[in-house]
A and B are shown apart, each in its own frame.
Chain A
Amino acid sequence: MSQTTQFILNDRDVTTTEPAGMLVLDYLRRREHLVGTKEGCKEGDCGACVVLVGELNGTKVKYKPVTSCLMPLGELHGKHLVTVEGLNMAQLTPVQQAIVDEGGSQCGFCTPGIVVSLTGYLMNAGTAVDDEGIKYALGGNLCRCTGYGSLKRAGSVLIQQFGNGSAFAKRTKSKNSIAELIRAKALPEYFKSIPARLKKISKPRLKNGKIDHFIAGGTDLYVQRGDVIPETRVNVLNLHPEMKGITVTNGKVKLGALTTFEEFADHPGIIKIIPRIKEYMHLNASWQIRNRATLGGNIVNASPIGDMTALLLALESTLVLSDSDPLRRKNGRKRRTVPMKSFFKGYKILDKKPNEILTEIIFPRPKAGSKIHFEKVSKRKTLDIASVNSAIKIRAPKGVIAEVELSMGGVAPVPLFMKNTCAFLKGKPVTARSILNAIQVAMNEIAPISDIRGAAEYKRLLVRQLIIAHFTKLFPEFVTVRDFYEAH
């Protein structure tokens, strides 16, 4: 099934009929022989393959770093793909120079990915370049040689050059930062021509017919099936903008299923409802992955340990399922809603027919006084899969629980809504006693197994600890961690 993908690769217009499901990384190395982009793990964990993908947004192009090892070639249609080669100029860029000067490159294998991530950061941070931001940008890049010290020092050099108070920052205020980065010789000249050139690429046609794989962000799908997808018929959902977007109305929050983790956490309306969403999101994947991973994908993937799934479950989300055929979907046919609590039927078994896809997620705006919290424990705090995660939405006026929604991940074959525990907690005061009693109820609701994420007993213990964590975080005026020990 040949399909034409048209995009700009660095400074070159490209039209290819390679399979839409082929990995961008394989395309770059094997077809284009652009070997600066490296393969380190092929599952989004190391960042040696990071590239920038630029997407037209009005008259500007918005660039994001992503891992090319989990991205389908077909999605590049109408976009600008930038590899390390596409950043090279006669002289080193400030990012490259800082890494050289500070000894931020040893064996060099991870270096191109790091250069691309840091450049992507400069393109997005504007003048807010700072130490935390440098780490944010490198969150998806592993380096086994340096121990990151020299990379952080390279970051400090960039902060001096581009951060607050720098000459760059003074020039850049309210101007096009891409133009300023070109002036600062951080990007090649040709970036100026990209918006006009992207506009000339026609929109992809909606496809119908039999599909083997629907690909959203692909960040989990390619990890599981990366060796077979390229040869199958794929539908690259991100070519369908109607499944994107966030609307917050008074009563409801509507999320397009293709909303990425990063878009969700950056949305002012979401931040208002979940003030600490950025803190929680920091525990989930890396910037490079969050730029790709979608909320809908996280739910449909049905991993018992999906981080956003746990959060959306506690938010009482409802799922909108539509016809998988985009033409029929356009006509608004076959729309059905399912409460998220009843969507998961068993391990990777969903209340979803083969001809349905998840198009929208809707949750009610939490009532005034509601508190929301997310907890996750994983071996490595960042960019790791949880041993156990949990989310809670709770309203306890005057310390008495009026409403509570609690989810737990990693403790059952499905993302678990803690129905009995919630029922038990309703009407109880926020005290150590009632929380401990609730933990006992929770113990009968979970069925964790021992696996690479931890022993079953460990997960049981974590359920206890995370319930305590929720309450001590949200109600420090009523309970502290010490209360759970001093009663002994």
Chain B
Amino acid sequence: MKHIDAAAHTRGESQYVDDLPQPAKMLYAAVFSSDVAHGDIIKIETEKTRVLPGVVAILTAKDIPGENQIGPIIQDETLLADGKVHYVGEPVALVVATSPETAHKAAKQISMKVKALPAITDPRVAFAKGEIIGTPRTFHLGDVDSAWSQCDLIVEGRCDISGQEHVYLETQRARAVPLEGGVIRIHSSTQSPAAVQRASAKILGVPSNKIEVDVKRLGGGFGGKEDQATAWSCLVALAAWHTGKPVELVLSRHDDIKMTGKRHPYSSDFKIGVTKDGKILAYEVKHYQNSGATADLSTAVLERTMFHSTNSYFIPNVKISAACCRTNLPPNTAFRGFGGPQGMFVIESAIAKAAEKLGLPREEMQYKNLLQEGDMLPYGQRTADTRSRLTWDEADKAYNIAAIHKRVESYNETHFETKKGFAVMPICFGISFTNTMLNQASSLVHVYTDGSVSVSTGGVEMGQGLITNLAAIAAKAFGIRSERIKIESTNTTRVANMSASAASATTDLNGHATLLAIEQILDRLKMLLVHEQHVSHAEKVTIVDEQVLYDGKPTGWNWTKLVQKAYTSRVALSAHGFYATPGIWFDRTKEKGHPFAYHVFGTAIIEVTVDCLRGTYDINSAKIVHDLGRPINEIVDRGQIEGGLAQGLGWMTLEELKFDDTGHYLSNSLATYKLPDVYFIPDLLEVKLLENVDNPRGPYGTKAVGEPPLMYGIGAFFALRHAMRAFRPKVDFPFHSPLTPEKVLMQLHAEVVEEMKNGELVRKAKKAKTQKVSKIIL
């Protein structure tokens, strides 16, 4: 089965928020935001702007009729700045005008007087000053303190991990349309319609049933629209409330990068203790999360960093501490992996450093410590159906890791200007929202009298293939053709209180809920058949290829006849299914529990070539063995694996989020923020799925797929490090991501750089004609 929307996508007929037909008299909004990272607002100057032709309204905090508050977990975030600004790009005022051009021009004419306060951009500085969001947390397993003495080698180090801009191709946008009775319908590009509904109702001071949120699809989300689509929807709702007209807001790419949060940068300290043959006995890590100016989802992201701090390894003695550090940057937020990748990067760095010290191949040490069935994870859950070694062994069988190592080494012996490197990257990623409460979902299924089916769930289609998966699940459950299934837009009037489409769990949760709804309808239909055909056992009724069978034999009825008969017999053809993931819990007072329904496992091998003269590099290949359980749709799943990998590769290499000390993003456009293009991603990209593996906790045995593959990309960092160490053996390069061509070249030629810094090269150059220059050669 293909992506359901794909044909319309290729024809340019799929509609995104601002592609919908424009209602008459629609107004357009633009945001005026702070240019100062931290300060007290003295005055917002809007008088000159208000009189511009075409400007209809300028709204500030004082125009909010309800509560000026949109914080999703901690109530610390205003919709429009009130008295203070906390980051560059913080929305201060909304201009509403008759055209988008007028709105943007007018927004540029607003000015604001601010008394600047000191700004913090470094999480360690924030931590030292007590700027902490929520409470710092610690996970313990075993006893690290007494374990150090048993170690043959203890290595310490520091990681500095950069953030990442989502670059959903469709920037943030929303349209609000006032309806009768004070209802406002919001078309939003959000992963979380219920969050938009709740926040808009609060902003306007109206009950939630006055706000209808409808989401057809997103032009990419990746976590960037989990919570951070909310503000723009609230703003257009506010503008529609004031003007009584439909209002649309589309952020330009510049505004989007400036105003929205990103993947959290982290700074972390690690200490790892190992035996001389590479067995890890103890691991201690401290994570300083750069949370940005408000909490957003940071506390939940931090928690997942802690859950994944030992990645796919069993370590008997572990201490993981972490804190959300408040800085004057846009509030950082969810991004595919949700803190997990940062946790994994640090343990991979610790292993790399220890293996280098021991003189062991890194992959040998990784393998030695991989999780085995029943191993205890630092948060108190034992692994089940553990496939760490299985995916690694399958990768080894298919690609021969020792042979790759040998091939790379012999290449490096015979090449000087270019060096190759490779890395193996195993992953273990927990599936479920770590906040147990969120693991619930609803589905509303209608069967029409012609046998066609409508399915509404709380899940949002953002390219991940949700609706294709749901259609496949529904068709299979009913026993009918998938063409009969239509997956509706996600709408808060049809499905209430949905959790965000996030945590890789959208198909799991909404698929299960849909199955439960379908089961109810099928039960009724089966009872009808039992009644009409005078047979005895409803459980013997099945529908296969649209034919209704009893005990495996034709009954003479097909699907449409069954449905028509149900209608005329006044049998309900609609049902609502509700699913709550069973068996999961977590006790935050003890920091122990069973937070995940299951784990996803996999192993990737990444190979690279570094041009040591220029500092540039190519990723030559990525080979992956991935655990999907029983895939629902291989095209969709493969797309998730390859796409996740690409984002992970980009995060580790090119995607450099630069900001200055005053909290301004310097990489504020796609001309300055570079993500992988068609040339960057290797042509040699192989994905093998584990065969004949089940997952009793996923619908039809499937496993979640959205986030885990991103973390394969971490291998690129260590493959590059491997190549760099071939050019400069024994150098302990910093664990500072992303490893851009600039960092590679500067680190490979650190001595030349040092001489240049000291001005030696320049001074020497003045006497160049007479001087011998052998000293500065390297």
Binding site for B on A (CB under 8 A): 30, 33, 35-38, 40-43, 45-46, 48, 83-85, 88, 92, 95-96, 99-112, 115, 131, 135, 138-139, 141-152, 223, 227, 375, 377-385, 387, 424, 432-433, 436-437, 439-444, 451-452, 454-455, 457-458, 460-462, 464-466, 468-469, 472, 480-482, 484-485, 487-488
Interfacial chain A residues near B21, Cβ < 8 Å: 33
8 cross-chain CB contacts under 8 A:
A35-B12, A88-B12, A96-B7, A99-B9, A100-B7, A103-B2, A381-B616, A465-B614
Q: Is B766 an interface residue (CB 8 A)?
A: yes
Say whether, besides A41-B669, A108-B463, A452-B666, A148 and B678 are in contact (CB < 8 Å): yes
**Cα–Cα, bound, A144→B675 (Å):** 8
A319 to B726, CA, bound (A): 48
- The residue on A at minimum CB distance from B463 is A107
CB contacts (< 8 Å) of B535 on chain A: these are: none
- Residues B613 and A443 in contact, CB atoms below 8 Å apart: no
- Chain B residues positioned under 8 Å from A88 (CB to CB): 11-13
Q: List, in ascending order, chain B residues with CB within 8 A of A455's CB.
A: 742, 746
- A92–B10 contact, CB under 8 A? yes
When distances are taken between beta carbons in the complex, the residues of chain A under 8 Å from B645 are 147
> Contacts A105-B3, A135-B679, A147-B685 hold; do A436 and B777 have CB atoms under 8 A apart?
yes
Stretch of B39-47, B213-221, B351-359, B696-704 with 4 or more beta carbons under 8 angstroms from chain A: B213-221
The 6 lowest CB-CB distance pairs between A and B, nearest first, are A36-B12, A107-B463, A147-B646, A109-B219, A108-B9, A440-B765
Is B349 in contact with chain A by the CB < 8 A criterion?
no
- Knowing that A135-B679, A380-B674, A457-B746 touch, tell me 7 more A-B residue pairs with CB under 8 angstroms: A40-B170, A106-B3, A106-B464, A108-B9, A379-B741, A455-B746, A457-B757
Select B222's contact among A144, A454, A487, beta carbons within 8 Å.
A144
Q: Is the CB of A146 within 8 A of B642?
A: yes
B14 CB-CB contact with A under 8 Å = yes
Given A151-B678, A385-B671: A36 and B768 within 8 A (CB)? no
B465 touches A106 (CB 8 A): yes
User: Contact mask B123-167 → A, CB, 8 Å, 1/0?
Assistant: 000000000000000000000000000000000000000000011
Residues of B within 8 A of A (CB): 2-3, 5-16, 18-19, 21-22, 100-101, 104-105, 166-171, 217-222, 252-253, 416-417, 462-465, 612-616, 635-636, 638-639, 642-647, 654, 656, 658, 666-667, 669-672, 674-681, 683, 685, 740-742, 745-746, 749, 752-753, 756-757, 761-762, 764-766, 768-769, 771, 773-774, 776-778
Cα A223 to Cα B253 in complex, Å, equals: 12
Contact B642 A384 (CB under 8 A): no
Contacts A440-B765, A465-B614, A482-B416 hold; do A103 and B678 have CB atoms under 8 A apart?
no
Shortest B148–chain A CB gap in Å is 39
Report whether A100 and B679 are in contact in the complex, using a CB–CB cutoff of 8 Å. Answer: no
Name the contact of B777 in the complex, choosing from A375, A384, A487 (C-beta under 8 A).
A487
B774: chain A residues within 8 A (beta carbon): 487-488
Instruction: Give CA–CA (A433, B775) in the complex, Å.
Output: 12
- Could you tell me the distance between the alpha carbons of A455 and B658 in the complex, rounded to whole angstroms? 12
Q: How far is the CA of A210 from the CA of B749 in the complex (A)?
A: 54
In the complex, are the beta carbons of A146 and B643 less than 8 A apart?
yes
Docked-complex contact B170 and A38, CB < 8 angstroms:
yes
Main secondary structure of the interface of B (DSSP, over half): loop
Known: A99-B10, A145-B220, A436-B777. A452 touches B672 (CB 8 A): yes
Q: Which residues of the other chain, A, contact B742 by a CB distance below 8 angstroms?
A: 379, 387, 454-455, 458
Closest to B680 in A: A380
Complex CA–CA separation, A454 to B170 (angstroms): 29
Complexed CA–CA distance, A442 and B381 (Å): 62
Residue on A with the closest CB to B104?
A: A227
Residues of B within 8 A of A146 (CB): 639, 642-643, 646
Smallest CB separation, B681 vs chain A (Å): 5
Decide: B616 and A377 in contact? CB cutoff 8 A. Answer: yes
Interface Cβ pair total, 8 Å cutoff: 289
How many Å lie between the Cα of A36 and that of B774 in the bound state?
61
Question: A111 to chain B: which residues have CB within 8 Å?
Answer: 9-10, 12
- Among residues of B, the one whose C-beta sits closest to the C-beta of A227 is B104
* A443 near B677: Cβ-Cβ < 8 Å: no
Q: Give the docked Cα–Cα distance between A186 and B21 (Å).
A: 29
Contact present for A443 and B683 (CB under 8 Å): no
Contact assessment for B217 and A45 in the assembled complex, using a CB-CB cutoff below 8 Å:
no
Residues of A within 8 A of B104 (CB): 227
Report the bound CA distance from A84 to B10 in whole Å: 8
* CA gap between A142 and B676 in the complex, in Å: 8
**Which residue of chain B lies nearest to A91 when distances are taken between CB atoms in the complex?**
B7
By the criterion CB–CB under 8 Å, are A150 and B677 in contact? Answer: no
Given contacts A106-B3, A485-B778, contact A96 B11 (CB under 8 A): yes
Residue of A nearest to B11 (CB): A88
Q: Which of A30, A379, A387, A488 has the most CB of B within 10 A?
A: A379
Closest CB in chain B relative to A431 CB, distance in Å: 12
A109 CB contact (under 8 Å) in B16, B679, B753: B16
Residue contact A145 to B6, C-beta cutoff 8 Å? no
Bound complex: CA of A146 vs CA of B647, how far in Å?
Answer: 9
**A42–B252 touching, CB < 8 Å:** yes
B658 touches A452 (CB 8 A): yes
Contact, CB under 8 Å: B745 / A100: no
Known contacts being A142-B169, A148-B678, is A115 close to B672, with CB within 8 Å? no
With A36-B11, A106-B464 already in contact, the answer to whether A99 and B6 are too (CB < 8 A) is yes
- Smallest beta-carbon distance B547→chain A, Å: 29
B756 touching A457 by the CB < 8 A rule? yes
Report how far A218 CA is from B72 CA in the complex, Å: 43
A461 touching B169, Cβ below 8 Å: no
Whether B777 contacts A488 by the Cβ 8 Å rule is yes
Q: Which of A95, A424, A442, A485 has the most CB of B within 10 A?
A: A485
Q: Is the CB of A380 within 8 A of B677?
A: yes
Give the complex CA separation of A387 and B166 in angstroms. 24
Which chain B residue lies CB-closest to A230?
A: B101
**Whole-angstrom CA separation of A381 from B666 in the bound complex:** 20
Q: State how many angstroms separate the Cβ of B391 from the closest Cβ of chain A.
A: 19
Residues of the B chain whose Cβ atoms lie less than 8 Å from the Cβ of A437: 768-769, 771, 773
A101-B2, A103-B2 are contacts. A109–B614 as well, Cβ < 8 Å? no
Q: Is the CB of B670 within 8 A of A45?
A: yes
Nearest B residue to A100, CB-CB: B6
What residue of chain B has the Cβ atom nearest to residue A131's Cβ?
B683
In Å, the complex CA distance between A437 and B770 comes to: 9
Q: Are A382 and B10 in contact (CB under 8 A)?
A: no
